[in-house]
């Protein structure tokens, strides 16, 4: 157990990217249930209607929080825009400042690595999946550094693909590895930060549908098809329980890396 305050049930400023659907939508609702009254929940993604639907679910789950949506294309947004948006919130009013870097894309899984020769496609992929994570995290941590009694936590949604090569996942593997690497440096430079990369396991979201319909790899296709046929995908409820508990127990040293399939030590 950690020596710091309990993670949940504090007055929190929580920003979740990719909150319009999938894992981000689910976490916005479930995490918000565990926040104290007058916490502020910031929901970011491109789809305004998706964010509005998530906002309604969050408020139904916890009417005591304030929810603000922000429709933004993270692949195009500038670091200075993150700063000016976040500056409207005073970090000293919160016991926990919590950034959930969830937004992401799978990249073109119709291509194998040897065919990834389009520099524009590379730039676009990295802009969303690596650059925006780094610039947003930089803004967030600079504006809300850990300052006792306030805790600052950066949760990164990662994948087994960050540490294992997977055919047709060239963009995805590079992106997830780079995100973790940036956060490891950040954590090393800021020992008081709480940094966790959490790999949620395979979950049947729209991203997985894209893999099933588009991957150039028969190995990947048959693996995901078998999970669909056998109904062995990890459920949103299962993975959410695991990450909520990991944060509560602080069962890792920052920078932590936890996979859904890790067994308790």
Ligand X SMILES: NC(=O)c1ccc[n+]([C@@H]2O[C@H](COP(=O)([O-])OP(=O)(O)OC[C@H]3O[C@@H](n4cnc5c(N)ncnc54)[C@H](OP(=O)(O)O)[C@@H]3O)[C@@H](O)[C@H]2O)c1
| Residue closer to ligand X (CB basis): 128 or 183 | 128
Cβ count within 10 A of residue 243: 22
The DSSP element (H or E) to which 245 belongs, if any, is helix 236-249
Residue number, nearest CB to ligand X: 22
105 near ligand X, judged by CB under 6 A: yes
Q: Which of 107, 146, 170, 200 binds ligand X (CB under 6 A)?
A: 200
Q: Residue written as tokens 């995901």?
A: 224
Per-residue contact track with ligand X, 64 to 103, x per CB under 6 A?
--------xxxx--------------------------xx
DSSP-H helix ranges across 155-203: 170-189
Checking phi first, is residue 250 left (phi over 0); if not, alpha (psi -120 to 50) or beta? left
* Positions 230 through 259 that interact with ligand X (CB under 6 A): none
Write out the two tokens for 93.
């009013």
Of 176, 200, 68, 76, the residue nearest 135 (C-alpha): 76
Smallest gap from residue 155 Cβ to ligand X (A)? 11
Q: How far is CA 26 from CA 31, 203, 220, in A?
A: 8, 12, 26
Under the criterion CB under 6 A, does residue 157 sit at the interface with ligand X?
Answer: yes
Alpha-carbon distance values, 13 to 31, 69, 205 (Å): 12, 13, 27
Report the site for ligand X in 7-26 (rule: CB under 6 A).
Answer: 18, 20-24
User: In the complex with ligand X, which residue's Cβ is closer, 102 or 215?
Assistant: 102
Should residue 170 be labelled a site residue for ligand X when binding is judged by CB under 6 A?
Answer: no
Per-residue contact string for residues 109-138; x = within reach of ligand X by CB under 6 A: -------------------x----------
Classify residue 116 by burial, with Cβ atoms within 10 Å: 0-12, 13-18, 19+. middle
Which among 88-96, 142-150, 205-213, 246-254 is the span making contact with ligand X, rule CB under 6 A? 205-213
CB of 265 to ligand X, least distance (A): 22
| Tokens standing for residue 246 | 């990991």
Question: Quick one: which segment of 6-14, 87-95, 144-152, 206-214 binds ligand X (CB under 6 A)?
Answer: 206-214
Residues that bind ligand X in the complex, under the rule CB under 6 A:
18, 20-24, 45-47, 50, 72-75, 102-105, 128, 157, 159, 199-200, 202-203, 205-208
């Amino acid at each position: 157990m950690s020596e710091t305050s309990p993670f949940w049930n504090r007055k929190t400023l929580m920003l979740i990217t990719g909150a319009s659907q999938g894992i981000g939508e689910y976490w916005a609702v479930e995490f918000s249930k565990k926040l104290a009254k007058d916490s502020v929940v910031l929901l970011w993604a491109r789809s305004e209607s998706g964010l509005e639907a998530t906002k309604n679910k969050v408020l139904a789950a916890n009417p005591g929080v304030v929810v603000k949506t922000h429709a933004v294309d993270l692949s195009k947004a500038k670091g200075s825009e993150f700063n000016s948006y976040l500056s409207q919130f005073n970090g000293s009013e919160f016991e926990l400042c919590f950034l959930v870097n969830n937004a992401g894309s799978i990249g073109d899984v119709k291509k194998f690595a040897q065919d990834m020769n389009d520099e524009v496609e590379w730039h676009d992929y990295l802009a969303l999946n690596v650059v925006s994570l780094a610039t947003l995290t930089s803004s967030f941590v600079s504006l809300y550094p850990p300052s006792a009694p306030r805790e600052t936590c950066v949760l990164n949604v990662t994948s087994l693909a960050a540490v294992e090569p997977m055919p047709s996942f060239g963009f995805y593997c590079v992106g997830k590895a780079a995100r973790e690497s940036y956060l490891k440096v950040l954590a090393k430079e800021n020992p008081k930060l709480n940094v966790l990369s959490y790999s949620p396991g395979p979950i049947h979201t729209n991203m997985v549908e894209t893999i099933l319909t588009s991957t150039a790899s028969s190995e990947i296709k048959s693996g995901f098809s078998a999970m669909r046929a056998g109904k062995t995908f990890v459920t949103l409820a299962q993975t959410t329980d695991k990450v909520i508990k990991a944060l509560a127990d602080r069962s890792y040293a920052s920078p932590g890396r936890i996979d859904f399939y890790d067994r308790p030590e």
